[in-house]
Structure 1
Amino acid sequence: MADARWIYDLTIFLYAASVLFYFNDFLQSNRKVNRLAFGLLAVVWALQTAFFVSQMAEKAYFPVITLFETLFFYSWVLVTLSLVINYFFRIDLLVFFTNVIGFVVLVLSMFLPETPLNAVSGPLTSELLLVHITLAMFSYGAFSLSMVFSAMYLLQHNMLKAKRWTPMLRRLPSLDVLEGYAYRMNMLGVPMLLLAILVGIIWGKLVLPEKFWLDAKVVWSLVVLGVYSFGLYKRYSDTWQMRSLALFNLASFGLVLINFLATDFSKFHNWL
């Protein structure tokens, strides 16, 4: 791991530079700075991918088990999704806001050990568990982007209401487009989280005690799934205004963060 540490350190440095350039572009709408920030972000993705591959080569399992590995993978998911969406739809502010989250997540991983205290083996490295975690991380990534779209919706809504005709307002897609993107991200996130839970249940039936249903993490995951499913239902039934849906989406993402980070209450989801 020491041989690949320089990749991780360089990733942190370039990621910080990219976010700072995006922040400058956010304030001044500088297209040259924006292109530089995007280029640095592409390099960050390549370095993250290289570091992740080096971990797979060094370790005897797909590296999404420990908290360090999961935070790193979550950051990689956010960078990947933001680059892909920006390639097709050119929403610069989405890339900025999303990668503020991704950078914070990556910085948090700096304070954690890169390898587990004990060797990871046995049922923890089963294919079912790895599929379960990977699906969950991609669902969290989709929910993160949905939250960003909702935040951008509320930002534009407030600017229009206050009649603040700033250059940033012209860079935002329309309210209908932002709400539609948030809805589509949730449409991706909900089935992925459902699949993650189902795969986790199958794994739990094989290796965990019968009472694993009562575990706090399992219950909270079902709550998150139910809340986002309820939001999709309210959007489909057209009984809430779009602003109310955006506010509900922000609150729902708070539940995702709690579910992701608050693992101390779980008996078998504690990070190694």
Structure 2
Amino acid sequence: MTDLTMTRLHEAMVVLYAISLVFYFIDYLNKDAKAHRIAFWLVSIVWILQSVFLGLYIIETHRFPILSLFEGIYFYAWLLVTISILLHCLYRVDLPVFFLNVIGFIFMSIHTFAPNQIAQSPVGHTLVSELLFIHVTFAILSYVAFSLSFVFSTLYLILYNVLKKKKWTKQWTRLPSLEQAQKGMSGALLAGIPFLLISLILGLQWAYVSLENFTIFDVKIIGSFISLLIYCLIIYGNRKGKLHTTMYAWTHIYAFLIVIINFFLGSRLSSFHFWY
């Protein structure tokens, strides 16, 4: 199997793993059986690919792959996926499975895009570029999701005011119902939060392998983590009944404004996000 093919398959594993986390997150918050099944089968595909590569490596080297940090990280990631699948099948516990897979995804990304792996690979430069591409793709997907939450929250407030003032006309017939708008807000957040988390994980990995003077205290990075925290607090507040109706909609609008400020001002002040 060529180096290029191996690289592509490892990248595919990272992408499949990332998508599975999105579905696990949706399932955990909404108890969505379909999302749960999709997440499980995606993780299962990742595990099968990992197991095949692990077996081929053992056959090639005639030893168990735990003698270096690089090998140990891969084996650790494989164990986490294995345990998460066993927990899913034997005990049906959701939260431990979700967090195990988040940790597994982090270490799988570290292994795939590790500095030693990139330095030794004949396609190392391409690998770094594609890591950046995947990071930016997930960041854009999160921005799209948060934009949708902003749109639905704005429509919710418009519809709420129209109904409250009893000024309903035919012009408003194409507006979604209040329930539909609220579900749209929540659904967009359920997608946007894991997309942003995955983007941050991959972005930190890219910065670590690509930049000589990388610091986590970059303005854009801090702003992105603050945005992620705010959206998580919005979900938490809504689930606890502290944020509802118009207050819930307004928090979406304020959070999106923070995302926009971070996108433009954070990128301008950042030491390495200038291409955004």
Q: Which category of TM-score, normalised to the shorter sequence, fits these structures? A: 0.5 to 0.7
Structure 2 Cα separation of the partners of residues 254 and 124 of structure 1: 34
Match of 2:223 in 1: 220
Structure 2 Cα separation of the partners of residues 137 and 259 of structure 1: 13
Map 1:245-256; keep pairs closer than 5 Å.
Answer: 245-256=248-259
The offset of 1:177, in angstroms, is: 1.3
Structure 1 Cα separation of the partners of residues 264 and 144 of structure 2: 14
1:268 maps to which of 244, 269, 272: 272
Match of 1:22 in 2: none
User: In structure 2, do the counterparts of structure 1 residues 209 and 233 end up closer, same or farther at CA, with 3 Å as the change threshold?
Assistant: farther
User: What amino acid is the match of 1:192?
Assistant: F
2:140 maps to which of 137, 141, 145: 137
Structure 2 Cα separation of the partners of residues 191 and 135 of structure 1: 9
The answer (yes or no) to whether the contact 2:138–2:196 under 8 Å persists in 1 is yes
Map 1:1-272; keep pairs closer than 5 Å.
Answer: 126-209=129-212, 211-262=214-265, 263-271=267-275
User: What amino acid is the match of 2:164?
Assistant: K
User: What amino acid is the match of 1:134?
Assistant: T
Deviations 1:208-263 (A, max 9, x none): 24642011011001011111111111111122222101000001110111122221
Show structure 1 runs of 5+ residues with no match: 1-121
The offset of 1:202, in angstroms, is: 1.1
Structure 1 Cα separation of the partners of residues 239 and 171 of structure 2: 30
Q: CA RMSD in A?
A: 2.0
User: What amino acid is the match of 2:137?
Assistant: T
The answer (yes or no) to whether the contact 1:193–1:225 under 8 Å persists in 2 is yes
The answer (yes or no) to whether the contact 2:208–2:214 under 8 Å persists in 1 is no
Structure 1 Cα separation of the partners of residues 233 and 261 of structure 2: 18
The answer (yes or no) to whether the contact 1:135–1:192 under 8 Å persists in 2 is yes
Structure 2 Cα separation of the partners of residues 135 and 234 of structure 1: 25
Q: Percent identity?
A: 36
Structure 1 Cα separation of the partners of residues 180 and 167 of structure 2: 20
Match of 1:57 in 2: none
Counterpart secondary structure, 1:212: coil
User: What amino acid is the match of 2:199?
Assistant: A
Count how many residue pairs are aligned between Structure 1 and Structure 2: 152
Show structure 2 runs of 5+ residues with no match: 1-124
The offset of 1:129, in angstroms, is: 0.6
The answer (yes or no) to whether the contact 1:123–1:207 under 8 Å persists in 2 is no
The offset of 1:136, in angstroms, is: 0.3
User: What amino acid is the match of 1:243?
Assistant: T
Structure 2 Cα separation of the partners of residues 123 and 158 of structure 1: 52
When the two structures are superposed, what TM-score results if normalisation uses the length of structure 1?
0.53
When the two structures are superposed, what TM-score results if normalisation uses the length of structure 2?
0.52
Higher-Rg member (1/2): 2
The answer (yes or no) to whether the contact 2:142–2:196 under 8 Å persists in 1 is yes
Structure 1 Cα separation of the partners of residues 262 and 200 of structure 2: 13
Structure 1 Cα separation of the partners of residues 271 and 126 of structure 2: 15
The answer (yes or no) to whether the contact 1:152–1:178 under 8 Å persists in 2 is yes
Counterpart secondary structure, 1:213: coil
User: What amino acid is the match of 2:272?
Assistant: F
